[in-house]
Structure 1
Amino acid sequence: MHAMHISPTLSDALVILVAAGIVIPVFARFRITPIIGFILVGLLVGPFGLGRMVPQQPWLTWITITDPEGLAPFAEFGIVLLLFTIGLELSFNRLWAMRRLVFGLGALELLINASLLAGLLVLLGQYWTGALGLGLALALSSTALVLPMAGTHTPVGRAALAMLLFEDIAIVPIIFLLGALAPVAGSNGVDGLLDTLLLGVLVVGGMMVIGRYALPYLFAQAARTKSPELFLAASLLVVIGASLATGLIGLSPIFGALIAGLLIAETEYHVEVEGIMEPFKGLALGVFLITVGMGIDLVQLWSNLGPIALAVVSVLTLKAVVTGVLLRLMGARLGTATETGILMASPSETTLIVLATAATAQLIQPGTAQFWQMVTAIGLTITPLLAALGRLIGRRMDPVPALPDAAEDGDEPRAIIIGCGRVGRLVADMLRYHGKPYIAIDADADTAERSRREGYNAVFANGARIEALERLGVANSPAVILTMDEPVLAQRITRKLRSAYPGLPIIARARDPQHAGDLYRSGATTAVPETLESSLQLSEAVLVDLGVAMGPVIASIHEKRDEFRDAIMQGGALDHKPKLRTSTVG
């Protein structure tokens, strides 16, 4: 009988999917970020965990990662997707408005932290070139972990975003600098850097020009097919193509992903793209976190517990103090500066890349690189704990936290109109006339595009997906208006919204009184039957033409409308006999 062959790829995929299926719901139940869970899973199933026992217990192959190197591309893809979705939340106008923060606060935070860390390492006996490489590596902070926890629309999130954006831009010069400092480096290190930066400007400029005209057409064609698979394929084509374009010229692939996200954010399809990419981003990011956990060797950690603990505490404390003081000097509130400083204290996933570059360039010894990789892994693991600690201390220092700047970030609560047809446009016209902000969505790409061309604030998105509505700010919306002429879909959306947001006003268009009753039972705040409204409007016109004063007519119409609504909500038959006060025609 032939021995069963186990594919390492399938075996590792099974472990990751089981881990995701267990970690996410369990940690969500206890309101703990799954970030810690994924790292602990990597620690458990990695080569330094149960993987050590595979030679003695072959059955452990089924529950351990047998090919750690094979996960690296998937981990990198997770970071690429993360930067892509961050780009979707931004816009070029917003980045331009943040330019002083990015190149002012961001540059100061990185350079001061790197200089102080490098100086400290020189005092401890590290040669200056290796100390500079380590200082730059450890000064970086984790985009993958910080932004999902801080968001991008809070004071803490805005400050963190500015610093992280500069760090992402600085990765390429840092890597070239380390190459130029290498003992084996050629004389063209600076020339190579300049060539890459020039190529980068040309490629990014080309991407922006092509993306501005090609992306709306590409996603419009994908949306017209109403095929989620094709829409997903188009999204992946854009993000992977942009990442490859910047990667081929020597820039970071995550920079290309960020540019791709920014370009799509300028189109009306960004909500749907973000929603359809979310599950892939979460799973790929989970793979990255598992690889971080796999890099922690508990045996080595225990044997060097004292030095590693001292290094972790020293790096976190120095970065937290420097970042917090900088923010305070630039006018941030004490609570915001404190929370941001603590949150930004841990190293980054890109720290591992810079450490590997420094080791390859022979600026640091392999043992030194392994030590600081361990420090980095521990720093990443405790980042959620730092976030919680920062919030706690920040609130105590500043009991009244600063609110998001709605004018800057576009976070002003706005009504959401689902459906850009005749009724939806009329509702949008009335909201606009009275100065009420709104956004209209439609699952038909042509309808959404036509509405946008005609001046409506409309985007392509599927209102039946609660995730799409969440990205449009439904949690803070003053009302959701359902205008589509699809009774079953309207009821389904109403039930989902009422279940997720018990206090949300939901105003729905109904075909007739029976449909209105169904909508009320599904959770609608107000359901407006078209047949009754047309009858009431006809009655109003008749009474006015007969000479009845407008005031009593409007009052009687409102009274009859309330009577109909009560009857519909009680499930009774509508009584069309007059129950109103008589009025004398004057």
Structure 2
Amino acid sequence: MEPETHMADLLLGGFVMLGAALVMVLVFRRFGIGAVLGYLIAGILIGPQGFQLISNAETVLEFSEIGIILLLFIVGLELAPARLMRLRQAIFGLGMSQVVLCGIALFLLIMTATNFTLAASIAIGLPLALSSTAQVLPMLQSSGRLNTPTGEKAFSILLFQDLSIIPLLTIIAALSRAPDESGGQSGWLTALYAVIAIVGLIAVGKYLLQPLLKVIGRIAERELFIVAGLVAVFGSAALMEFIGLSPALGAFIAGVMLANSPYRHELEADIDPFRSLLLGFFFLAVGMMLDLDVVMENPAFVLGAAAALVLVKIAIIFGLGKLFGMATNPALAMGMLLSQGGEFGFVLFSEAEKALLIEPEASSLFGAVITVSMATTPFLMLLSRRFSNGTAKSSTKLDDPGNAARASVIIVGQGRFGQTVSQMLLGAKIPLTLIDIKPEQIDIHEQFGAKVFYGDGTRVDLLRRAGAAEANAIVFCIDDPNFGPEQVRAIVQSFPDTKLLVRVYDRRQLIALKGLGIVGMKRELFESAIDLAKQTMFAIDIDSSLIDEVDEEFRQRDCDRLEAQLKSGGDMFAGAELRFGTGLPPEA
């Protein structure tokens, strides 16, 4: 009977949590506040301090932390190593400055405003410098701001905060008043193991995981891609947990290992629903663990401390944003995004409690402060949209391409180039689906009565929702020199009956994409440059027959040079003797 009773309790608990989340999130979404606050309130209502429908909040929290692990994996999939290197200054400059300055400021505030000891003030103040990765990143993703300059800097700070768990745990261990335990591991040894583990994971990804995915690709079993991805995620997370690091950091590294894989979009599409559900459970558990008795006994302190936490972090992060070259509005928006306490604060408070640095009552009190600060974030996010990127909030609803009617042609990118292509096709009465990733560009089209759907049109899962399998052609009009062979191969493999046409940045990108199944490519400035040269010759009275002759010969020479460069494997100097004139660098 016991297994049956356990199963019944499990099913009933799942029903209660999902039902409460469904109702509260619908209510809060209806008023445009956001899902996170709905989950928190639902957790409070069903938890031990509410109607006592669920009692094991700690178990739910441990289980739901898998959602944070999957979130960091998905973020890693979006960050190829080259892009991560580009962000290194923001990660180790802006990120480190934020953790250090906010930690010192909050430590001094607690030291002067309370009667906590020096060690207790450090053990409480430093963890409060961390923000909520689980709350901020999904909000940035859903609003399309993760890849904006503001979003990238916010992500860089969050990533360094995850890295800072090691030194923060080391500081707490150094201050510990608890009796020494045999077999303990020093923080510096943990850091060394971390470096070795990261290097090892990168090597495994390059020399084992990537070849394995190619083998799976030949077998064409989609489920095996998911299995391989999850093996990488949980293996990396378990390794980091074993050496005393954040398991989310290990999952992030696993994502970066697969960022250049042609199957990354499929992995993201399959894993994202689980990530969303588990993150919802995480915030439910945070709400269930909120000690309302502590809040009711010290309402002024909890609310005042939460307000001070938010204001101090906004002020410092805004100042750092300005120092690192951000404009006023985006810097203020970033401060609002990262102003709350984070989930790792609960972990560090627990460690400080074990180290006898703080009492359990203090841990509960400042856990409540973090929870209240999290509850302010949805409201601050609404306000921050007025400041992000220095523009007002878009009046246009960002619609998913899955809602588009099936069309003959899908056009990805609606900038200057894409607008001309779409106008020409509309002139021929061809049904189109237009996709762009820039909300401001979509807003402009809306003003002219044109419907553009929001999303990253290079993603296989998004193209599938847009009806790419039924379309006759997909035209990529994006200005992205990094749109490369791996992405094109994934799209060609997913939609073999749909013709692909691509606007390429220069001849280097054209050579890289040649022979991958694209039926048409056009260098973005080629024709306009030829046309302007012809207009110049006409303006200075060059004979029209000579103009046509030069035009024809130039095109032939350019075609012959491309053929020579392709045969040479991409050598830009191949066929140089075919160029008009000497001493000029190879043109695009």
TM > 0.5 fold call:
yes
Q: In structure 2, what is the Cα distance between the partners aligned to 1:265 and 1:120?
A: 42
User: 1:455: which partner in 2?
Assistant: none
Residues 1:8 and 2:9 aligned together: yes
Residues 1:103 and 2:103 aligned together: no
Query: Any conservation in 2 of the 1:320–1:342 contact (CA below 8 Å)?
Result: yes
The aligned amino acid for 2:177 is P
The aligned amino acid for 2:332 is T
When structure 1 is superposed on structure 2, of 281-290 and 34-43 the one drifting more is 34-43
Query: Any conservation in 2 of the 1:269–1:459 contact (CA below 8 Å)?
Result: no
- C-alpha change, 1:459 and 1:378, in structure 2 (3 Å) is closer
When structure 1 is superposed on structure 2, of 21-30 and 305-314 the one drifting more is 21-30
Q: In structure 2, what is the Cα distance between the partners aligned to 1:222 and 1:145?
A: 34
SS at match of 1:265: coil
The aligned amino acid for 1:34 is A
Query: Any conservation in 1 of the 2:123–2:357 contact (CA below 8 Å)?
Result: yes
Q: In structure 2, what is the Cα distance between the partners aligned to 1:468 and 1:114?
A: 49
- C-alpha change, 1:328 and 1:184, in structure 2 (3 Å) is same
1:470-524 deviation line (CA, Å, top 9, x unaligned): xxxx999648x99989999879xxxxxxxxxxxxxxxxx9xxxxxxxxxxxxxxx
Q: TM-score, normalising length from structure 1?
A: 0.65
Which of the numbers 265, 273, 282 marks the counterpart of 1:271?
Answer: 265
Q: In structure 2, what is the Cα distance between the partners aligned to 1:257 and 1:230?
A: 18
Shift of 1:260: 0.2
Query: Any conservation in 2 of the 1:87–1:260 contact (CA below 8 Å)?
Result: yes
Shift of 1:192: 1.3
1:131-170 maps to which residues of 2 (within 5 A)? Answer: 131-150=121-140, 151-170=145-164
The aligned amino acid for 1:241 is G
Q: In structure 1, what is the Cα distance between the partners aligned to 2:317 and 2:302?
A: 22
The aligned amino acid for 1:286 is G
- C-alpha change, 1:467 and 1:143, in structure 2 (3 Å) is farther
The aligned amino acid for 2:74 is T
User: 1:563: which partner in 2?
Assistant: none
> Percent of aligned positions with the same letter in both sequences?
31
Q: In structure 2, what is the Cα distance between the partners aligned to 1:141 and 1:90?
A: 21
User: 1:217: which partner in 2?
Assistant: 211
Shift of 1:331: 1.6
Q: In structure 1, what is the Cα distance between the partners aligned to 2:176 and 2:66?
A: 29
User: 1:432: which partner in 2?
Assistant: none
Residues 1:322 and 2:322 aligned together: no
Residues 1:237 and 2:231 aligned together: yes
Q: In structure 2, what is the Cα distance between the partners aligned to 1:463 and 1:389?
A: 29
The aligned amino acid for 2:230 is L
Q: In structure 1, what is the Cα distance between the partners aligned to 2:459 and 2:311?
A: 46
Shift of 1:154: 1.3
Residues 1:182 and 2:176 aligned together: yes
User: 1:42: which partner in 2?
Assistant: 43
- C-alpha change, 1:100 and 1:65, in structure 2 (3 Å) is same
Query: Any conservation in 2 of the 1:268–1:460 contact (CA below 8 Å)?
Result: no
Shift of 1:73: 2.6
Q: In structure 1, what is the Cα distance between the partners aligned to 2:190 and 2:493?
A: 55
Residues 1:198 and 2:192 aligned together: yes
The aligned amino acid for 2:97 is L
Query: Any conservation in 1 of the 2:33–2:379 contact (CA below 8 Å)?
Result: no
Structure 1 portions without partners, runs of 5+: 52-63, 403-412, 417-437, 439-457, 492-508, 510-586
1:294-309 maps to which residues of 2 (within 5 A)? Answer: 294-309=288-303
- C-alpha change, 1:326 and 1:485, in structure 2 (3 Å) is closer
- C-alpha change, 1:66 and 1:222, in structure 2 (3 Å) is farther
User: 1:465: which partner in 2?
Assistant: 464
- C-alpha change, 1:116 and 1:415, in structure 2 (3 Å) is closer
The aligned amino acid for 2:376 is I
Shift of 1:187: 10
- C-alpha change, 1:296 and 1:460, in structure 2 (3 Å) is closer
The aligned amino acid for 2:5 is H
Query: Any conservation in 1 of the 2:313–2:339 contact (CA below 8 Å)?
Result: yes
Q: Which structure's CA Rg is the greater one?
A: 1
- C-alpha change, 1:308 and 1:459, in structure 2 (3 Å) is closer
User: 2:69: which partner in 1?
Assistant: 80
Q: In structure 2, what is the Cα distance between the partners aligned to 1:29 and 1:288?
A: 22
User: 1:17: which partner in 2?
Assistant: 18
Structure 2 portions without partners, runs of 5+: 395-410, 415-435, 437-456, 479-487, 500-516, 518-588
Q: In structure 1, what is the Cα distance between the partners aligned to 2:220 and 2:25?
A: 31
Query: Any conservation in 2 of the 1:301–1:308 contact (CA below 8 Å)?
Result: yes
Shift of 1:113: 0.9
When structure 1 is superposed on structure 2, of 459-468 and 96-105 the one drifting more is 459-468
SS at match of 1:50: coil
- C-alpha change, 1:363 and 1:272, in structure 2 (3 Å) is same
Q: In structure 2, what is the Cα distance between the partners aligned to 1:460 and 1:216?
A: 19
When structure 1 is superposed on structure 2, of 179-188 and 278-287 the one drifting more is 179-188
Query: Any conservation in 1 of the 2:307–2:373 contact (CA below 8 Å)?
Result: no
Shift of 1:185: 5.6
User: 1:500: which partner in 2?
Assistant: none
Q: TM-score, normalising length from structure 2?
A: 0.65
1:107-163 deviation line (CA, Å, top 9, x unaligned): 111111111111121112221111111111111011111122234211221221121
Shift of 1:467: 8.4
Query: Any conservation in 2 of the 1:20–1:283 contact (CA below 8 Å)?
Result: no
Q: In structure 2, what is the Cα distance between the partners aligned to 1:485 and 1:268?
A: 10
Shift of 1:387: 1.3
The aligned amino acid for 2:278 is A
1:288-312 deviation line (CA, Å, top 9, x unaligned): 0101111223343233211111111
SS at match of 2:98: helix
Q: In structure 2, what is the Cα distance between the partners aligned to 1:185 and 1:66?
A: 32
Shift of 1:95: 1.6
Q: In structure 2, what is the Cα distance between the partners aligned to 1:372 and 1:475?
A: 53
Residues 1:125 and 2:115 aligned together: yes
Q: In structure 2, what is the Cα distance between the partners aligned to 1:468 and 1:361?
A: 57
Q: In structure 1, what is the Cα distance between the partners aligned to 2:97 and 2:104?
A: 10
Query: Any conservation in 1 of the 2:43–2:285 contact (CA below 8 Å)?
Result: yes
Q: In structure 2, what is the Cα distance between the partners aligned to 1:322 and 1:369?
A: 25
> What's the Cα RMSD here?
3.9
Which of the numbers 342, 367, 373 marks the counterpart of 2:336?
Answer: 342
Which of the numbers 286, 307, 317 marks the counterpart of 1:292?
Answer: 286
Q: In structure 2, what is the Cα distance between the partners aligned to 1:88 and 1:254?
A: 13
SS at match of 2:258: helix
The aligned amino acid for 2:336 is I
Query: Any conservation in 1 of the 2:336–2:377 contact (CA below 8 Å)?
Result: no
Residues 1:249 and 2:239 aligned together: no
Shift of 1:101: 1.3
| Count of matched residue positions in the alignment of Structure 1 and Structure 2 | 425
Q: In structure 1, what is the Cα distance between the partners aligned to 2:210 and 2:121?
A: 47
Q: In structure 1, what is the Cα distance between the partners aligned to 2:63 and 2:337?
A: 26
Shift of 1:464: 6.3
1:261-304 deviation line (CA, Å, top 9, x unaligned): 10010211111111110001001111101011112233432332
Which of the numbers 71, 76, 84 marks the counterpart of 2:60?
Answer: 71
Query: Any conservation in 2 of the 1:8–1:66 contact (CA below 8 Å)?
Result: no
The aligned amino acid for 1:261 is G
- C-alpha change, 1:485 and 1:276, in structure 2 (3 Å) is closer
Query: Any conservation in 1 of the 2:27–2:38 contact (CA below 8 Å)?
Result: no
